[in-house]
């Protein structure tokens, strides 16, 4: 059973709370991801990001399809 707060008529306050909640979620996700021993970090702005991700994923995809 989930209880919801009454709707806040202050749109700016709701917006700020939404932004804060999103930041908190992102921090929890990063903490969780950092705990993964086998993680491989690829910068999304690398020039060869697609080929790097493909090289990382190829063995895993092959194992699933085998």
d(CA 25, CA 56): 26
d(CA 28, CA 34): 10
- The pLDDT score that the predictor gives to residue 21 is 95
d(CA 45, CA 2): 40
Reported as a single tens digit per residue, the pLDDT across 4-47 is 777 888 888 989 999 999 999 999 999 999 999 989 999 999 99
pTM of the model: 0.56
């Amino acid at each position: 059973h989930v209880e919801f707060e009454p709707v806040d008529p202050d749109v700016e306050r709701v917006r700020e709370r939404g932004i804060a909640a999103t930041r908190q979620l992102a921090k929890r996700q990063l903490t969780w991801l950092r705990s993964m021993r086998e993680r491989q970090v690829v910068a999304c702005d690398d020039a060869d990001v697609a080929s790097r991700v493909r090289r990382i994923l190829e063995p895993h995809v092959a194992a699933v399809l085998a």
